[in-house]
Structure 1
Amino acid sequence: MSLGPYASFIVTSYALVAAIVLLLIVWISVDYRNQKQRLRDLESSGIVRRSGRQATEI
């Protein structure tokens, strides 16, 4: 498979997109872990989510 004279541009572009997508996946997973930890901290301090309440508690 020959990419012609633009091979370096094509390969660099695909590599850059792959790196950005990988970076976004890592960022989202780290943020998810941080948000879960913050929710655990809030719930352990006595603050509960409204969605966790029963209709009779409102």
Structure 2
Amino acid sequence: MMPDLGKYADTVLSSYIVSIILLVLLVLVSLRAARKARAELEQVEERRRG
């Protein structure tokens, strides 16, 4: 199924791997930031309620 990339196979495959790793890291960082923001918002709302 993989196309013949010839002498560029290592470069192309390593670029794909790096891109996938960066995308996964970006998703994880985004999820962590969202969780932190949600927790801070809940604290603010709790203080506001009483």
Normalised by the size of structure 2, how large is the TM-score? 0.87
Which residue in 1 is equivalent to 2:22? 20
Which residue in 1 is equivalent to 2:37? 35
Aligned partners of 1:9 and 1:45: how far apart in 2? Answer: 54
Question: Relative contact order: is structure 1 or structure 2 higher (C-alpha 8 Å, sep ≥ 6)?
Answer: 2
> In the comparison of the two structures, how many residue pairs are matched?
47
Q: Which runs of 4+ in 1 moved over 3 A?
A: none
Aligned partners of 1:3 and 1:22: how far apart in 2? Answer: 25
Structure 1 or 2: larger helix share?
Answer: 2
- Is there any run of 5+ residues in structure 1 with no aligned partner, and where? 48-58
Percent identity between the aligned chains?
Answer: 23
Normalised by the size of structure 1, how large is the TM-score? 0.76
Cα-Cα RMSD: 1.1
- Is there any run of 5+ residues in structure 2 with no aligned partner, and where? none
